[in-house]
Amino acid sequence: MLPEEQGDAAVQRSERPEFTEITPTAPVAVASHGWRAKCLQRLVRLDLPVPRTVAIPAATVRAIAGGHLPDTGAILAGFGAGPLVSVRPSSENPDWGGPGTMLNIGMNDERHAALAAEHGATVADALYLRFIRAYATHVARLDPDMFDGADGSAEALRAALRAYAQETEEPFPQDPARQLAEVLRSMARAWEGTSARLLRQAKGAPAEAGLGLVVQDMVLGLGRGESGSGVIQFVDPVSGQAQITGRYMRQAQGGDPIAQSEGEIYLTRDPRGPSLEEICPDAFADLLRYGEACRRRLREEMQIEFTLANGRLCVLDAVKVARSSRASVRIAVTLAEDEVISRSDALLRVEPRALSELLHRQVDPRRPRDIFARGIAASPGAAKGRIVFSSDAAQASAARGEPCILVRRETAPEDIRGMHAAAGVLTERGGMTSHAAVIGRGLGLPCVVGASELRFDPRERLLRARDGRVFREGDVITVDGTRGEALVGAVDMLEPALDDTFRTLLSWADAERDIGIRANADSPSDARIARDFLAEGIGLCRTEHMFFQGDRLTVMREMIFADTAEDRAAALARLLPMQRADFTHLFEIMHGLPVCIRLFDPPLHEFLPHSRDGLRELAEALDKPLSDVTRRVEALSEFNPMLGMRGVRLGITLPEIYEMQARAIFEAAIEAARHGRVVVPEIMIPLVSAVREVELVKARIEAVAAAVRTRMGADFSYRLGVMVETPRAALRAGDIAHHAAFLSFGTNDLTQMTYGLSRDDAGRFMSAYVQSGVFPEDPFHTLDVDGVGELLLIGASRGRRARADLTLAVCGEHGANPESIAFCRAAGFNYVSCSPFRVPVARLAAAQLAIVSRMTPENSAELP
């Protein structure tokens, strides 16, 4: 708390007057009068030339909305004879919005005549007309069209007064106190309106959030000496770099020219034309001083709204500079480096999710967007390229060096190569944990899924948008995975911003956080990204992804089609060196850090072709009759493969697969150790539901370990753990923990099984469910703490009771969500694991949680 604010708590308790003039010592507080009133008081305390301002607390405004008549005569009494004032909203948080500012309250025939005498009739007409128009539309609620096209002439002014009188059946109100009362009433009611309430609640405002108002003396940017109005800020709002930006307009008010305005001039010296810096160097120097004072004392980069009246500078208002995600990082770090704020404050000022925007190219927010489809923003970043409808076409496009967007109804494991080749992915179906979404996030590939308004016609090879527009293969589109939109054409991009300030902020985050962050990484390139983003190891390596690469798929299929144990062993013997090489590579990259490898998980049919052509090709490759191949593929298909023969069930029924994988892991660990790489592999058994499954697999893995030790004459250690992905595994975690060094909760499957809701089909109705409030959020995106969360707590406590040193983790897609991290941290989990590109988000979110949990109301830093 700043020293000058120590009286605030007392203010909240005392009986509050209907309004308070803002002076350095006046009892004004954010909670009662809103952020703007408080900010203006701080400007007054900094001795900035703020015109006389009166703050009306939210309690009074609420009473006004309910019909109370404020004593506006008393409010205006201090503003002199013929007052002219503005009213601005002042809610507790600037992000909650509020009604627009009203200027020139007090304008009437008498004031019009006085202004005409001082500044000329044209100026007076323009100002009066402007006020009538604003009052008529916002206060009297007349149709704005009535005043459209009215220029600033005397005739237009008379016509406006006539129109007002006709519509409202009374002359335009002349009494400033009456005008002010009506303005206050209309603003108070606008705040209570349903749409305003919903909008602010969507931004986090509580249902009972109130609105304060500030009434300020108007300073007209008119006169013979230098006059005008403008805004100035000292950082660039897109990059956050120190730079003076803003605008200044001569003979203008609130950024709008008044009649005879001389237009906009530059703020700083510029060879292209005159600037405020040259014309009014003293005022310009004062603005720089004020900016620095705001920065140091308000501890924030502020945008200052100012007016010059005959060379006299007034500061009307100051607001936090609106900023892009990348600017928010640079501003926070720079303020901390300049010792204006603490490092923890800097960490708290950046929204963790905003970081993922910095890791990828983004659509330039300043460019127009022609959106032809909306879906789920499944993987952030933006990419542009030509449409391709198949993975083969994506690979061909990549071979030609042409960026492409892979458009599919949904993706399947066999599309992995196509996804690797594409710049972005767009699917008609799918939810937050559908195949395309999970792989897209893992690869850092911009991805929009569940664009259900699109009609994809694979036969015609075209895509039909809801508005009837048709897109064909080769057409250029842009996928915005940050906003979940598909745009027509190639849109300009902003490049990623992994600069020093980004790295500095994350290094500060690591010093604060108290929960581990690992990455889900399946390939060496994922692992490199994970290392680069300072993940503390791999929390999930989905080994099946390795079998889709290159010629492995054929060997894999041979293994699946093997008629005898010998044939299967032969195929696995060919896969073994490939897996060993994969793991050796991973261990090298991750040396010194844990690598958690999940044994084979998916149903086997995912590796098999489904089209006629694919079946024929497979028959040729395996040298078997097509009918044989088709029969075997049919035999392997399941009614519900997600709940069928997958995970540990495969490990039990076809144990050779897990044995091969265990051997590859152990041999790779020995190999890595020979090259001086320290590694303790972790082996994880997926989709467990019974302790006996763990016992059986564990016994086989131990046997493999013993055999490898003997054969290689080398020792190694490893840790064996279990993925908790079924509700039963969570309930039986106590038994399971006796056989496992760690439990890693796979919250994707656990959510799927707890809800009985297919993660691949949820996208079809999820938005309708969330919009109508059936689910508060998509549970595949935000951990369902009430249901799935309870299973996590049960599993964690039963597991830890059985084994105090049990490591607990989450490796589902929820791992990077700040809310999920908060939950896991509170439940005593050791780490969360998420896609490599989300590691920075998780690091910052975890740091914020640690900082906030340390704060008590006394030592909490007040955010501006």
**Total Cβ atoms within 10 A of residue 396:** 14
Q: Interaction with ligand PEP in 533-572: which residues (CB under 6 A)?
A: 540, 542
The dihedral built from the CA positions of residue 33, 38, 43 and 45, taken in this order, carries a sign that is: positive
Residue 835 interacts with ligand PEP (CB under 6 A)? no
State how beta strands 538-542 and 516-520 pair.
parallel
Binding site for Mg ion (CB under 5 A): 725, 746, 749
For residue 582, the one-letter residue type is D
**Partner whose footprint covers residue 812, from ligand PEP, Mg ion, none (CB < 5 to 8 Å by kind):** ligand PEP
Backbone angles phi, psi at 457, to 5 degrees: -110, 95
Residue 739 interacts with ligand PEP (CB under 6 A)? no
Nearer to Mg ion, 87 or 648 (CB): 648
- Report whether 718 contacts 705 (CB < 8 A): yes
Residue from 307, 362, 411, 747 binding ligand PEP (CB under 6 A)? 747
Nearer to Mg ion, 226 or 725 (CB): 725
Nearer to ligand PEP, 362 or 747 (CB): 747
Residue from 230, 516, 539, 812 binding ligand PEP (CB under 6 A)? 812
Nearer to ligand PEP, 221 or 812 (CB): 812
**Partner whose footprint covers residue 395, from Mg ion, ligand PEP, none (CB < 5 to 8 Å by kind):** none
Point out the catalytic residue in the list 435, 605, 739, 781.
435
Residue from 410, 725, 760, 778 binding ligand PEP (CB under 6 A)? 725
Euclidean distance between CA atoms 45 and 24, whole angstroms:
5
Contacts of 127 (CB under 8 A, 6+ apart): 104, 107, 112, 115, 220, 253, 258
Nearer to ligand PEP, 303 or 835 (CB): 835
**Partner whose footprint covers residue 432, from ligand PEP, Mg ion, none (CB < 5 to 8 Å by kind):** none
- The nearest distance, CB 813 to Mg ion, in angstroms, is 10
What is the residue-wise DSSP string for 558-573? HHHH-SSHHHHHHHHH
- Report whether 338 contacts 346 (CB < 8 A): no
Q: Which stretch binds ligand PEP (CB under 6 A): 424-432, 561-569, 746-754, 789-797?
A: 746-754
> x/- contact string, 583-622, with ligand PEP (CB under 6 A)?
------------------x---------------------
- Report whether 524 contacts 839 (CB < 8 A): no
Nearer to ligand PEP, 558 or 725 (CB): 725
Euclidean distance between CA atoms 384 and 739, whole angstroms:
49
The dihedral built from the CA positions of residue 587, 589, 594 and 598, taken in this order, carries a sign that is: negative
- The nearest distance, CB 820 to ligand PEP, in angstroms, is 12
- The nearest distance, CB 530 to ligand PEP, in angstroms, is 15
N-terminal to C-terminal alpha carbon distance within the chain: 11
CA angle 657, 661, 663 (to 5 degrees): 115
**Partner whose footprint covers residue 659, from Mg ion, ligand PEP, none (CB < 5 to 8 Å by kind):** none
Give how far the C-alpha of residue 456 lies from the chain's centroid of Cα atoms, to the nearest Å: 29
Nearer to Mg ion, 504 or 748 (CB): 748
Residue 811 interacts with ligand PEP (CB under 6 A)? yes
Residues that bind ligand PEP (rule: CB under 6 A) add up to a total of 11
> x/- contact string, 220-259, with ligand PEP (CB under 6 A)?
----------------------------------------
Helix (H) or strand (E) holding 795: helix 788-802
* Closest residue to ligand PEP in the complex (CB): 746
- The nearest distance, CB 87 to ligand PEP, in angstroms, is 53
**Partner whose footprint covers residue 249, from Mg ion, ligand PEP, none (CB < 5 to 8 Å by kind):** none
Nearer to ligand PEP, 53 or 543 (CB): 543
Nearer to ligand PEP, 439 or 505 (CB): 439
**Partner whose footprint covers residue 416, from Mg ion, ligand PEP, none (CB < 5 to 8 Å by kind):** none
Euclidean distance between CA atoms 218 and 613, whole angstroms:
77
**Residue located via tokens 């023969």:** 645
Encoding tokens for residue 313? 């500078």
- The nearest distance, CB 768 to ligand PEP, in angstroms, is 24
- Point out which residues pair with 598 in neighbouring strands: 542, 684
- Report whether 559 contacts 575 (CB < 8 A): yes
The dihedral built from the CA positions of residue 436, 437, 441 and 442, taken in this order, carries a sign that is: negative
Euclidean distance between CA atoms 346 and 551, whole angstroms:
50
Nearer to ligand PEP, 380 or 746 (CB): 746
Q: How many helices (H) and strands (E) does the chain have?
A: 34, 33
Euclidean distance between CA atoms 219 and 200, whole angstroms:
31
- Report whether 682 contacts 721 (CB < 8 A): yes
CA angle 50, 55, 59 (to 5 degrees): 165
Q: Which stretch binds ligand PEP (CB under 6 A): 53-61, 312-320, 408-416, 741-749?
A: 741-749
Q: Which stretch binds ligand PEP (CB under 6 A): 139-147, 187-195, 633-641, 745-753?
A: 745-753
Nearer to Mg ion, 540 or 660 (CB): 540
Q: Interaction with ligand PEP in 401-460: which residues (CB under 6 A)?
A: 438
- Point out which residues pair with 682 in neighbouring strands: 596, 719
**Partner whose footprint covers residue 542, from Mg ion, ligand PEP, none (CB < 5 to 8 Å by kind):** ligand PEP
Question: What are the residue ranges of helices labelled H in 359-480?
Answer: 391-399, 416-421, 435-443
Residue from 558, 667, 749, 784 binding ligand PEP (CB under 6 A)? 749
- The nearest distance, CB 520 to ligand PEP, in angstroms, is 7
Residue from 746, 818, 836, 864 binding ligand PEP (CB under 6 A)? 746
Euclidean distance between CA atoms 483 and 382, whole angstroms:
9
DSSP at 612: H
- Report whether 737 contacts 804 (CB < 8 A): no
Residue 435 among the catalytic residues: yes
Question: What are the residue ranges of helices labelled H in 513-564?
Answer: 524-532, 552-561
**Partner whose footprint covers residue 536, from ligand PEP, Mg ion, none (CB < 5 to 8 Å by kind):** none
Residue from 91, 748, 807, 848 binding ligand PEP (CB under 6 A)? 748
Residue 294 among the catalytic residues: no
Point out the catalytic residue in the list 280, 294, 596, 811.
811
Q: Interaction with ligand PEP in 644-663: which residues (CB under 6 A)?
A: none
Contact residues toward ligand PEP (CB under 6 A) are 438, 540, 542, 601, 725, 746-749, 811-812
Catalytic residues: 435, 811
